C-alpha cells in the first residue's frame, strides 16, 4: 500500500458516509439495549451476563466513536467503561445509585449521538455533570485498586489519557512517518513488502513517536524479540532477518501454530512484553528478554474461495426501499394498463394474453407485498423505550407501576412505528400520571398496590392494533362532562352517551387533570394524540370502567404507501380521499345550503350544519355541478369535526399507491399526494385538513 | 496480494469499516458477528486471514481462536485478535489460545490495511 500522509483519517468522514450512518444507527440500537439491560440489572444486580452485556455496549461505543472521531462520545464512554469494568470485575457492587448514574449515562449518550447526528444541540453541562458523577465513583474510596490479579491497568491511569486521546490523533500517516526513518537504514532484505509496512512492535524503550505506531499492532512472536537490541531499529532488522528464515521453515514446523508459540512460561515477562502501551499511559515498562522465535506460521495454504457473506439479517436504508416500492408500484400500474388493452384484442389472442396478464398480476402483487415487508420493523424497537419511561414516571409520581409488554415481534411500517412514538409516550404518561392510583389509594380500593399497565401489539386482518391498558381508576365521566361544559365544548343540557362523553377527552382544550403535573400537562393534549394517529390513517378508541381501568385501542393500517381510497370526480379531475375519513355521501337538498358572509358555505345534514367545501371553487376546476343539488356531498371527518366535500360524482373504491407530489412537483395546499389509476390517469389525493384550511383562506380573500 | 479476510465483530460499524478499508485495498471481506457465526461462515469461506474481536455474545474471540486451532481444523490460518492498548491480559489470552498477533481497536483504515499487508506478506 502506498503512503498517504494526508489519507483520510476516519474522523474526517462526512456525515453522509455510510459508515457514519451505520455507526449512528448502531449507537441507537446499542443504547436502546443498554437501557433495557440497565432496567434488568436493577432487578438482578448480581447477574454477571447482564453486566458483561452492558460493558460490551459501552466498549463497542467507545471504540467505534473513537474510530470515527466522535470525541465527546469516546471520552464519555471511556469513563463509563471504567466504571462498568469495575462492576464486571466485581470490584464494586451494583447499587441503586450506580444504576441511576448508568441510566443517566445512557441518556447523555443518546444526547451525544443526537449531537453527532446533528439533530440535537450540545448540552455539555449535563454530560459533564454525569461524567463528574462517574468519575466520583471511580475516584471514590470504594475503589479497590485492581488487586494484583494481573490486571496491568489502574483506573486512574486510564482516566488521564482520555483528555489527550493519542490513538485518535495519530492517524496512519503519522504511523507511516514514524516507521520511515527506522526502516531506511536497514538494507533492503528479501522481503520487500515489509518496507512499506509500519514497524513491528519494538521494545518499550523506543522513542515515543515510534511507540505510538507500535502500540497498535504486533505479532506474538515478534513482541517476543530480544530487548537487548541497542536501538529501536533493531526489532525491525530482527523481524526481517527472521522473515526469510521463517518461510522455508514453515512446512517443517508442527502444524498447530499453538505448539510453536513460546510457551507462556512466566506470568511477568509475558505480561510486560505484551504491554506496548508506554506512550498511551506515559508509563515505562521494563524491557523483557524473551528468546527470539522463528515464525512457524506458514502462508495461508487455502486457495481463495469466493467470499459468500452470510448474515442473518440485512439493514436496508429506507430510501432505497422506498424507491423499490415506487418501482413496483409502477409495475402494478403497467400491469393494469395492459389489462385494459387486452380487453380490445381479437378473440383468438384473448385467452393467451389474459392468462399472461393474470400471471403478471399475481407476480406483481406478490412482489409488491414482499417489498412492503422490507419496510416493516418489529414494534420491539418502539416499545423498548417505555419500560424506562414508566419506571421514571412511577418514581416521580410515587406510584408502583409494572409495565407488561407483549407482541413485540408484531411488525409495523417503519414510518408508522416512528410516528407512534409520541402518541404512545403520551398515553403511557397519562396512564401512569392520571390512570393509576397511588399505592395507598389502591390499598383502600382493595387492589394490589402495584398497578399494571399493559402495552400490547397484534395484527388482525389488514391492521395493526396497539393497546394500552391500565388497571387504574378509569376515566371520571362526570368530571369530563363538567369540564367540557365549563370550557364551552358542549352545552350543559346536551344529551350525550357515555361513549360521547369519554371521547370528549380528545377535544382540544380539555384537560381533566386537577393539577398540571410535571409528568403530564405539557401542552400536548389528547387531541394531538388523536390527530397524530389519524394522520397515519389510524383510529383510536377508548373503553373505560370506573374503578377498573382504561383501555386505549389504536388501529393502524399496515402501511402508509398503499391506501384504501375513494375516488371521486370534479369536472375532468379525479380525486382520492382516504376511505377512513369518509362517513357518508349525500345529495344535498337545494334549500339546505346556506352562504353566510365571510365564512365557508354551510350545508345542513340532519339538523347539523357542516361547512361545505366546494372543490371546484377551492381548486379552480370547471365542474359539472355548480349547483350543490346537482352534485354529491361527501361527508368527511377532520379532527373530530365533519365537513362536506362537494363533488360531481363518486367513482369507486380502490387501493392506491401513494406518490409524493413534492418529489416531482411542489408542495400544494390541500393535496397530500398523487396516484396513477389503472387507465394511466393521475388522481390527486386530498389532504382533508389542508382543504379545510384552504376553504378558510378562500373565504377570507372572498370577503375582502 | 489480494486476500480473503474474515472479520468477526459484533459491531456492524467495525465490520463495515473493515470491509470498506480492505476492499479499497483490493481484498475481499467476509463478515461474521460472533464466534459461532464465524465457525458457521468458515464452512463456506476459506479466508486467508481472520480478524476477530474478543468480547462478543455467543462465542468470544479467544474461544473462537481456540476452537479454530483445535478441533475446527484451522491450525495455520493467521488470526489477529482486536484488543485495546492496555489490555495485556487479553493479549496473553490470545497468545495462549494460538492467535497470530493482535491489533488495537480503535484503528484507522490505513493502519488496518498496513497490518493486513504485513500479515499476508509473511
B95/A264 touch (CB, cutoff 8 Å), yes or no: yes
Does the CB of A158 have a partner CB in chain B at under 8 Å? yes
Confidence at residue B51, expressed as pLDDT on a 0 to 100 scale: 95
pLDDT at position A72 over 70 = yes
> Nearest C-alpha of chain B: how many angstroms from A412?
24
B48/A264 touch (CB, cutoff 8 Å), yes or no: no
- Provide the pLDDT confidence category of residue A407 given band limits of 50, 70 and 90: very high
Confidence at residue A701, expressed as pLDDT on a 0 to 100 scale: 66
Confidence at residue B7, expressed as pLDDT on a 0 to 100 scale: 95
Burial of B83 from C-beta contacts in 10 A (0-12 / 13-18 / 19+): buried
**Helix B109-120 and helix A172-183, axial crossing angle in degrees, nearest 10:** 40
DSSP string, A550-589: EEEEEEEES-SSEEEEEEEEETTEEEEEEGGGEEEEE---
Neighbours of A374 (CB within 10 A): 16
pLDDT in tens, A510-521: 665 544 444 444
pLDDT at position A608 over 60 = yes
Better pLDDT: A679 or B46? B46
B106/A172 touch (CB, cutoff 8 Å), yes or no: no
Share of chain A above pLDDT 70, in %: 69
A270/B49 touch (CB, cutoff 8 Å), yes or no: no
Confidence at residue B43, expressed as pLDDT on a 0 to 100 scale: 87
Nearest residue on chain B to A61, alpha-carbon basis: B11
Confidence at residue A647, expressed as pLDDT on a 0 to 100 scale: 92
pLDDT in tens, A339-385: 777 777 777 777 777 777 777 777 777 777 777 777 788 888 889 88
* Interfacial A residues in 442-471 facing B (CB < 8 Å): none
Long-range contacts: A183-186, Cβ < 8 Å, 24+? A183/A236, A185/A233, A186/A233, A186/A236, A186/A237, A186/A240
Q: In angstroms, rounded to a whole number, what is the distance separating the alpha carbons of residues A589 and A611?
A: 15
pLDDT at position A456 over 90 = yes
- Provide the pLDDT confidence category of residue A655 given band limits of 50, 70 and 90: confident
Ordered by where they begin, the domains of chain B are: 4-120 (3.40.50.2300)
pLDDT in tens, A78-108: 999 989 988 888 888 888 888 888 999 999 9
Nearest residue on chain B to A60, alpha-carbon basis: B11
Confidence at residue A13, expressed as pLDDT on a 0 to 100 scale: 62
How much is the ipTM here? 0.84
Confidence at residue A416, expressed as pLDDT on a 0 to 100 scale: 86
Does the CB of A200 have a partner CB in chain B at under 8 Å? yes
Q: What is the mean pLDDT of chain A?
A: 72
Helix, strand and coil in chain A, % to nearest 5: 50, 15, 35
B115/A258 touch (CB, cutoff 8 Å), yes or no: no
Mean pLDDT of B93-117: 88
C-alpha cell at A363: 407476480
Among the partner residues B46, B92, B121, nearest to A194 by beta-carbon distance = B121
Query: Would you say A143 and A260 are in contact if contact means Cβ atoms under 8 Å apart?
Result: no
* Interfacial A residues in 288-317 facing B (CB < 8 Å): 295, 297-312, 315
Question: What is the layout of strands, in order, in the sheet containing A401-406?
Answer: A401-406, A451-460, A463-470, A549-557, A539-545
Block residue for cell numbers 403520551: A426
pLDDT in tens, A210-227: 334 456 787 876 444 333
Nearest residue on chain B to A25, alpha-carbon basis: B13
Cα dist from B69 to A599, A606, B91, B98, B115, whole Å? 83, 84, 16, 7, 21
pLDDT in tens, A551-578: 999 998 877 767 778 999 999 999 999 8
Better pLDDT: A554 or A15? A554
Name chain A contacts of B47, Cβ cutoff 8 Å: 300, 302, 307
Q: In angstroms, rounded to a whole number, what is the distance separating the alpha carbons of residues A374 and A369?
A: 9
Among the partner residues B45, B56, B122, nearest to A305 by beta-carbon distance = B45
Stretch among A206-210, A393-397, A557-561, B91-95 having the lowest mean pLDDT: A206-210
Share of chain A above pLDDT 90, in %: 15
Among the partner residues B84, B89, B122, nearest to A297 by beta-carbon distance = B122
Does the CB of A26 have a partner CB in chain B at under 8 Å? yes
Confidence at residue A634, expressed as pLDDT on a 0 to 100 scale: 93
pLDDT in tens, B24-40: 999 999 999 989 999 98
- Provide the pLDDT confidence category of residue A15 given band limits of 50, 70 and 90: low
> Nearest C-alpha of chain B: how many angstroms from A112?
17
pLDDT at position A277 over 60 = no
pLDDT at position A109 over 90 = yes
Residues contacting residue B93 through CB under 8 Å, at least 6 positions apart: B62
pLDDT at position A417 over 50 = yes
Mean pLDDT of A264-288: 37
pLDDT at position A165 over 50 = no
Better pLDDT: A337 or A136? A136
pLDDT at position A143 over 50 = no
Does the CB of B100 have a partner CB in chain A at under 8 Å? yes
Q: In angstroms, rounded to a whole number, what is the distance separating the alpha carbons of residues A80 and A64?
A: 15
Mean pLDDT of A315-321: 73
Does the CB of B27 have a partner CB in chain A at under 8 Å? no
| SS3 (DSSP) at A403 | strand
The CA-based dihedral angle spanning residues A261, A265, A271, A273, taken in that order and rounded to the nearest 10 degrees: -60
* Interfacial B residues in 38-67 facing A (CB < 8 Å): 40-41, 44-49, 55-57
DSSP H or E run through A201: none
**Total H helices, total E strands in chain B:** 5, 5
Amino acid at each position: 500500500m502506498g503512503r498517504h500522509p494526508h489519507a483520510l483519517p476516519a474522523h474526517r468522514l462526512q456525515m453522509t458516509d455510510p459508515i457514519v450512518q451505520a455507526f449512528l444507527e448502531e449507537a441507537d440500537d446499542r443504547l436502546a439495549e443498554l437501557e433495557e439491560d440497565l432496567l434488568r440489572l436493577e432487578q438482578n444486580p448480581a447477574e454477571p451476563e447482564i453486566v458483561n452485556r452492558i460493558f460490551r455496549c459501552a466498549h463497542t461505543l467507545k471504540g467505534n466513536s473513537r474510530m470515527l472521531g466522535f470525541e465527546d462520545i469516546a471520552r464519555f464512554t471511556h469513563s463509563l467503561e471504567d466504571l462498568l469494568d469495575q462492576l464486571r470485575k466485581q470490584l464494586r457492587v451494583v447499587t441503586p445509585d450506580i444504576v441511576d448514574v448508568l441510566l443517566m449515562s445512557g441518556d447523555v449518550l443518546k444526547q451525544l449521538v443526537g449531537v453527532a447526528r446533528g439533530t440535537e444541540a450540545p448540552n455539555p453541562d449535563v454530560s459533564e455533570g454525569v461524567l463528574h458523577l462517574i468519575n466520583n465513583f471511580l475516584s471514590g474510596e470504594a475503589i479497590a485498586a485492581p488487586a494484583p490479579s494481573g490486571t496491568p491497568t489502574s483506573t486512574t491511569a486510564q482516566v488521564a489519557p482520555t483528555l489527550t486521546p493519542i490513538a485518535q490523533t495519530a492517524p496512519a500517516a503519522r504511523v507511516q512517518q514514524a516507521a520511515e526513518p527506522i526502516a531506511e537504514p536497514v538494507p533492503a532484505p528479501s522481503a520487500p513488502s515489509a518496507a512499506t509496512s509500519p514497524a513491528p512492535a519494538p521494545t518499550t524503550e523506543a522513542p515515543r513517536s515510534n511507540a505510538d505506531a507500535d502500540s497498535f499492532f504486533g505479532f506474538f512472536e515478534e513482541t517476543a524479540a530480544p530487548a537487548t537490541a541497542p536501538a529501536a531499529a533493531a526489532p525491525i532488522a530482527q523481524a526481517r532477518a527472521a522473515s526469510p528464515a521463517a518461510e522455508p521453515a514453515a512446512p517443517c514446523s508442527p502444524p498447530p501454530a499453538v505448539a510453536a508459540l513460546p510457551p507462556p512460561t512466566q506470568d511477568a515477562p509475558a505480561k510486560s512484553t505484551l504491554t506496548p502501551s508506554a506512550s498511551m499511559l506515559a508509563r515505562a515498562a521494563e524491557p523483557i528478554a524473551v528468546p527470539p522465535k522463528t515464525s512457524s506460521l506458514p502462508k495461508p495454504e487455502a486457495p481463495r474461495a469466493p467470499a459468500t457473506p452470510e448474515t442473518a439479517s440485512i439493514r436496508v436504508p429506507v430510501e432505497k426501499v422506498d424507491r423499490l416500492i415506487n418501482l413496483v408500484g409502477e409495475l402494478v400500474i403497467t400491469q393494469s394498463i395492459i389489462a385494459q388493452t387486452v380487453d380490445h384484442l381479437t378473440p383468438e389472442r384473448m385467452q393467451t394474453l389474459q392468462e399472461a396478464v393474470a400471471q403478471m398480476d399475481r407476480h406483481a402483487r406478490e412482489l409488491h407485498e414482499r417489498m412492503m415487508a422490507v419496510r416493516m420493523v418489529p414494534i420491539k424497537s418502539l416499545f423498548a423505550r417505555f419500560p424506562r419511561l414508566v419506571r421514571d414516571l412511577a418514581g416521580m409520581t410515587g406510584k408502583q407501576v409494572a409495565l407488561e409488554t407483549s407482541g413485540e415481534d408484531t411488525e409495523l411500517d417503519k414510518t408508522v412505528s416512528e410516528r407512534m412514538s409520541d402518541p404512545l409516550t403520551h398515553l403511557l404518561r397519562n396512564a401512569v400520571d392520571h390512570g393509576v392510583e397511588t399505592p395507598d389509594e389502591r390499598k383502600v380500593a382493595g387492589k394490589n398496590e402495584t398497578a399494571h399497565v399493559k402495552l400490547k401489539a397484534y395484527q388482525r386482518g389488514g391492521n395493526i392494533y396497539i393497546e394500552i391498558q391500565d388497571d387504574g381508576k378509569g376515566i371520571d365521566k362526570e368530571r369530563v362532562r363538567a369540564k367540557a361544559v365549563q370550557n364551552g365544548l358542549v352545552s350543559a343540557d346536551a344529551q350525550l352517551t357515555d361513549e360521547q362523553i369519554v371521547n370528549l377527552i380528545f377535544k382540544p382544550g380539555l384537560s381533566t387533570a386537577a393539577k398540571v403535573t410535571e409528568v403530564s400537562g405539557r401542552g400536548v393534549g389528547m387531541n394531538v394524540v388523536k390527530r397524530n394517529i389519524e394522520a397515519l390513517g389510524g383510529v383510536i378508541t377508548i373503553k373505560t370502567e370506573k374503578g377498573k381501568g382504561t383501555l386505549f385501542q389504536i388501529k393502524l393500517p399496515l402501511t402508509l404507501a398503499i391506501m384504501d381510497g375513494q375516488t371521486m370526480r370534479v369536472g375532468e379531475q379525479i380525486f382520492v380521499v382516504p376511505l377512513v375519513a369518509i362517513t357518508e355521501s349525500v345529495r344535498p337538498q337545494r334549500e339546505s345550503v346556506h352562504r353566510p358572509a365571510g365564512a365557508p358555505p354551510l350545508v345542513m345534514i340532519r339538523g347539523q350544519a357542516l361547512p361545505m367545501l366546494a372543490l371546484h371553487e377551492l381548486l379552480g376546476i370547471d365542474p359539472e355541478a355548480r349547483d350543490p343539488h346537482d352534485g354529491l356531498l361527501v361527508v368527511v371527518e377532520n379532527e373530530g369535526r365533519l365537513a362536506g366535500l362537494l363533488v360531481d360524482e363518486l367513482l369507486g373504491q380502490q387501493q392506491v399507491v401513494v406518490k409524493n407530489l413534492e418529489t416531482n412537483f411542489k408542495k400544494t395546499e390541500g393535496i397530500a399526494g398523487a396516484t396513477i389509476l389503472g387507465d394511466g390517469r393521475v388522481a390527486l389525493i386530498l389532504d382533508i385538513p389542508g382543504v379545510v384550511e384552504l376553504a378558510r383562506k378562500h373565504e377570507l380573500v372572498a370577503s375582502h | 496480494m489480494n486476500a480473503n479476510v474474515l472479520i468477526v465483530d459484533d459491531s456492524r460499524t467495525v465490520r463495515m469499516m473493515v470491509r470498506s478499508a480492505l476492499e479499497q485495498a483490493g481484498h475481499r471481506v467476509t463478515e461474521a458477528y460472533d464466534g459461532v457465526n464465524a465457525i458457521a461462515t468458515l464452512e463456506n469461506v476459506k479466508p486467508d486471514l481472520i480478524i476477530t474481536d474478543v468480547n462478543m455474545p455467543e462465542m468470544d474471540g479467544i474461544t473462537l481462536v481456540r476452537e479454530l486451532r483445535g478441533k475446527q481444523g484451522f491450525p495455520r490460518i493467521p488470526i489477529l485478535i482486536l484488543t485495546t492498548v492496555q489490555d495485556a491480559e487479553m493479549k496473553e489470552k490470545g497468545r495462549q489460545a494460538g492467535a497470530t498477533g493482535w491489533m488495537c481497536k480503535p484503528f484507522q483504515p490505513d493502519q488496518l490495511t498496513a497490518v493486513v499487508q504485513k500479515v499476508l506478506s509473511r
